[in-house]
Structure 1
């Protein structure tokens, strides 16, 4: 029985999908005007992990996410670089795919772009106008927020708070055009012929930011969806506005479970360009040789908790991941001399930790408690590898369970292992032969040669083995 913390109710609720065995899930993606930052990566990994656990539990997950590929930031970047808006969007959409691939983030079932659903957006906006929920002013179309009953409930803010927040975001000219400061744009006029726009009943323009997600969720999923996810900073105004316009349009509840991931701080400070701690995933990957450690850090923190990204936390994550890798390799190597059959005590211990893992993840994806169960399996693997007798079936079951549970976190625990080059393989074999001949001076020399190439050689009762430094 999976429980999910619903931002709307601020309570953990027993998860029940609309269609048994199937989940419709929408997660807000990035605006593609730059390389994604570590906060974007955290959200992508958090909900990829949620998706993976639902799939582990047997659900078929229809996972839809978006690229905002038309926006003021994209227009400004295009003007700065002297290229088209679509060239900017294509460049950074491609970069998103390239940068998330090493982190083992599964492709969305549908990854839609705002510019791909312009006809549907115009139809959606026209329906809001027809129903009196939206109005046109000089080519802009605004949504009447106060007309929608319960506006702001997701963010748990009252109208006074929202009016104050809205006033801080708007310029005087836009405020003067609106009927109310908290009304928001669903269509923006664009008179400059050199800036991207589309014809509409209100003149040339482009979508407001919030409307695309409502349209995509309805088009690719349903009027009512199971889960909508994103960063906690999106609860207001983005998701608040999605609820209002979606439910005004369809007359149906938009989302059953709202899920929001926590912030990422950098060196214990909020990430900000002004503070000089703005960290893109692209730069991180260029300067770090183990993407799985980044994935491990972001996936094994419970998704609602904030994460502090620093050299120390990344180093700790890598050390923990290396501990898991080492335990796996220890038992894997020991299985080379295992006997047939199984060991009831090992099988029972593996099953106990598998249940502990599932119990933790069932509790709103409590990754910290779940990874504790994984480390119990690592300890078991190390202990079993040193026992006098290892049974093939039980050893394999333990390793398979470790792999399976780490795949829920999207972490390939063997990712850093590579094959020896032909020259290294020859040195490795020559060293084994030197030890058999009791030529320890030569074996030490060959070991040192391999060490200099980043290959660590270990001697065990079952023979020599290697791993990367």
Structure 2
């Protein structure tokens, strides 16, 4: 599977800042110190509907992570998956009387278009679950043969009790885990499981559903969590720098994936930091496909909204915050974009070196994009009120907000 084209990231004068970021596993800020190549895995979409603002906010957060690292002259090895076979996709295809493969391809293509328009830097490896199946099967067999997995009516389940570090990502108690498992794709009430929390690794073929040769596992398809584990281990290995996604992935997805990987390799942890973006609401409820309360990036683009304004609307909220999309949020972003573009189009301005440093400091402290935006606002206001004498400053500001915030002026 291929990703989307990369926009150019301008080089900036001076020295980029390191990154301190909130780690769900420890509950506090951690200092990330990658080597020359920073490694990040971000969980991708299940392509049964278009990119909504919740998706966009999540991928915007991890785009900022990449930009901070690139500013330190590191390379970034970014991997993202596409869950291009799963129950929600199959159910939507059946509802709309469309082939599930065609639906997945259509929505993945639209996602690429949205990411390109929003200037999200693409992953180096963009991998679909279906193409990862040849690498998934041996991992499930290894877990089964090691006694960390068991069969139940042809399905293969992972035993969470096989990992002594299970629970150290989300730090939830068993009752909370069971509740979230039922809400987020698990089956804690299925009779015969050794532990209600045990997740499925391999689903035996069901009538009328797609399946693949699973070798000694029989025909079937992979579970959700093992998909990402196989892709991450193949392309990044253990101990990579950041495992990212929305806050609703901390449990069960990232918790289970970490346990799979840790049992497979005997190493801990799977990732140095588990970083989670907040949820975006509409009319008081979290945007979700099941509720249908969605604002789509593609629809806003069709309505003539500048994608740069959409990006500024996302950046106006701290990545970990839960917030609500409103018409006013978008109007404020459009007005800010107009002010910034007017500012950098003038011939002179106040010196920009201090502003670049302010943006770097803000992003280096847990990706504080609102603080970075406020710094640019102050520079633009000063230029409008008092002008400036530095003919190079507008160009430096333009390149800085492009490189560090992904905002093209």
Same fold (TM over 0.5): yes
Measured after TM superposition, the shift of residue 297 of structure 1 is 1.0
Q: Per-residue displacement from partner, 1:399-424 (whole Å, max 9, x unpaired)?
A: 223332343111111xxxxxxxxxxx
Match of 1:439 in 2: none
Which segments of 5 or more consecutive residues in structure 1 lack a partner in the other structure?
A: 336-345, 414-469
- 8 Å Cα contact 1:381-1:398 kept in structure 2: no
Write out aligned runs for 1:305-320 (5 A): 305-320=321-336
**Cα pair distance change 1:166/1:100, threshold 3 Å:** closer
Write out aligned runs for 1:110-129 (5 A): 110-129=125-144
- 8 Å Cα contact 1:134-1:141 kept in structure 2: yes
Match of 1:15 in 2: 32
* SS in structure 2 of the partner of residue 242 of structure 1: helix
Provide the C-alpha distance between the structure 1 equivalents of 2:184 and 2:45, rounded to a whole number of angstroms: 20
* SS in structure 1 of the partner of residue 120 of structure 2: coil
Measured after TM superposition, the shift of residue 160 of structure 1 is 3.4
**Cα pair distance change 1:352/1:310, threshold 3 Å:** same
Write out aligned runs for 1:309-388 (5 A): 309-331=325-347, 346=350, 349-383=351-385, 385=387
Write out aligned runs for 1:387-398 (5 A): 390=389, 394-398=390-394
Bigger Cα Rg: 1
Provide the C-alpha distance between the structure 2 equivalents of 1:272 and 1:116, rounded to a whole number of angstroms: 27
- 8 Å Cα contact 1:197-1:204 kept in structure 2: yes
Match of 1:402 in 2: 398
Match of 1:451 in 2: none
Measured after TM superposition, the shift of residue 383 of structure 1 is 5.0
**Greater relative contact order (Cα < 8 A, sep 6+):** 2
Q: Per-residue displacement from partner, 1:25-82 (whole Å, max 9, x unpaired)?
A: 0001100111122111111111112211211222211111011001011222232344
**Cα pair distance change 1:270/1:191, threshold 3 Å:** closer
Of 202, 206, 212, 1:198 maps to 212
- 8 Å Cα contact 1:136-1:202 kept in structure 2: no
Measured after TM superposition, the shift of residue 95 of structure 1 is 1.1
Match of 1:237 in 2: 252
**Cα pair distance change 1:166/1:64, threshold 3 Å:** closer
- 8 Å Cα contact 1:26-1:64 kept in structure 2: yes
Q: Per-residue displacement from partner, 1:161-191 (whole Å, max 9, x unpaired)?
A: 3234445668989611312211110110114
- 8 Å Cα contact 1:66-1:213 kept in structure 2: yes
Q: Per-residue displacement from partner, 1:352-383 (whole Å, max 9, x unpaired)?
A: 22222222111111111112221232234335
CA RMSD of aligned residues (A): 2.2
Provide the C-alpha distance between the structure 2 equivalents of 1:175 and 1:188, rounded to a whole number of angstroms: 14
Q: Per-residue displacement from partner, 1:423-442 (whole Å, max 9, x unpaired)?
A: xxxxxxxxxxxxxxxxxxxx
Write out aligned runs for 1:186-225 (5 A): 186-192=201-207, 194-200=208-214, 201-225=216-240
- 8 Å Cα contact 1:377-1:398 kept in structure 2: no
Measured after TM superposition, the shift of residue 114 of structure 1 is 0.5
* SS in structure 1 of the partner of residue 126 of structure 2: strand
- 8 Å Cα contact 1:292-1:411 kept in structure 2: yes
Provide the C-alpha distance between the structure 2 equivalents of 1:172 and 1:229, rounded to a whole number of angstroms: 24
Q: Per-residue displacement from partner, 1:297-344 (whole Å, max 9, x unpaired)?
A: 11242211123210011101111111111111123xx69xxxxxxxxx
Measured after TM superposition, the shift of residue 221 of structure 1 is 1.1
Which segments of 5 or more consecutive residues in structure 2 lack a partner in the other structure?
A: 1-17
Provide the C-alpha distance between the structure 1 equivalents of 2:290 and 2:140, rounded to a whole number of angstroms: 37
Provide the C-alpha distance between the structure 1 equivalents of 2:186 and 2:69, rounded to a whole number of angstroms: 44
- 8 Å Cα contact 1:191-1:204 kept in structure 2: no
Provide the C-alpha distance between the structure 2 equivalents of 1:282 and 1:355, rounded to a whole number of angstroms: 34
Provide the C-alpha distance between the structure 1 equivalents of 2:346 and 2:187, rounded to a whole number of angstroms: 67
**Cα pair distance change 1:88/1:323, threshold 3 Å:** same
Provide the C-alpha distance between the structure 2 equivalents of 1:172 and 1:161, rounded to a whole number of angstroms: 14
Q: How many corresponding residue pairs?
A: 390
